[in-house]
């Protein structure tokens, strides 16, 4: 047991529950600044507060977009991303239109991603949440290629609101598909063993609310 700050650089300290209060947001921001996490990831309405809390700290303010279903129209996703950036977001995590992917409407899916990329770049990185638990292996490969072609910065496994989270197998497949593009593992990452497995599989970021426990090598309270 003991601190290991080296894990912090990979962690998006994530707080997305609907009942999140400013007191909770401040706690997450304070922890992120203390340990040096990569970002604090929050719902769009909380970006103005979080970006102000993180100002000058080196920790990024990250907003989710089209979250958690990905079923907003492209225009709304584009506007949501633009407003998040205006409010201080330097990273955005968008959810794909899963139904369109399953319909094999690949042009729509790519343009949906591309619209968010154009709204966010060059001011913010874009991570594309593909919700792996809902996809076949073939669909995972296809959407990773679409996200890469749309010039997104990351592909990401999960929202945390689906039926499953990141797996080592999915991270390996995603990394193999996208090559030099980055991969984010999200959901179900609760300890250093989980982190080590995801990093070894090719992840560059991990979305988790357990970042402080991971750095301190403690078990989260029930």
Residue positions annotated with a catalytic role: 93, 156, 184
What is the DSSP code (8-state) at residue 60? E
- Exposure of 115 in the CB half-sphere (CA atoms within 13 A): 22
- Classified as helix, coil or strand, 153 is coil
Distances (CA, A) of 23 to 8, 20, 49, 62: 22, 8, 11, 18
Measured CA to CA, the distance from residue 97 to residue 11 in angstroms comes to: 26
Calculated CA dihedral for residues 18, 29, 127, 161, nearest 10 degrees: -30
How far CA 209 is from CA of 36, 38, 182, in Å, comes to 14, 13, 21
């Amino acid at each position: 047991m003991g601190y290991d700050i080296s894990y912090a650089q990979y962690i998006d300290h994530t707080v997305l529950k609907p009942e999140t209060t400013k007191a909770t947001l401040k706690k997450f921001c304070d922890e992120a600044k203390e340990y040096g996490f990569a970002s604090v990831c929050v719902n769009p309405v909380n970006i103005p507060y979080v970006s102000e809390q993180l100002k000058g700290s080196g920790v990024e303010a990250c907003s989710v977009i089209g979250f958690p279903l990905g079923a907003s129209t492209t225009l709304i996703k584009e506007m949501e991303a633009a407003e998040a950036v205006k409010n201080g977001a330097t990273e955005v995590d968008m959810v794909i239109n899963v139904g369109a992917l399953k319909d094999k409407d690949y042009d729509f899916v790519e343009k949906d991603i591309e619209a968010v990329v154009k709204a966010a770049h060059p001011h913010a990185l874009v991570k594309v949440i593909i919700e792996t638990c809902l996809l076949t292996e073939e669909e995972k490969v296809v959407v990773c290629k679409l996200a890469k072609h749309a010039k997104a910065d990351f592909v990401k496994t999960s929202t945390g609101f689906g039926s499953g989270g990141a797996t080592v197998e999915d991270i390996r497949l995603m990394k193999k598909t996208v090559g030099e593009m980055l991969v984010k593992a999200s959901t179900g990452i609760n300890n250093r063993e989980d982190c080590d497995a995801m990093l070894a599989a090719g992840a560059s970021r991990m979305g988790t609310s357990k970042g402080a426990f991971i750095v301190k090598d403690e078990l989260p309270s029930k």
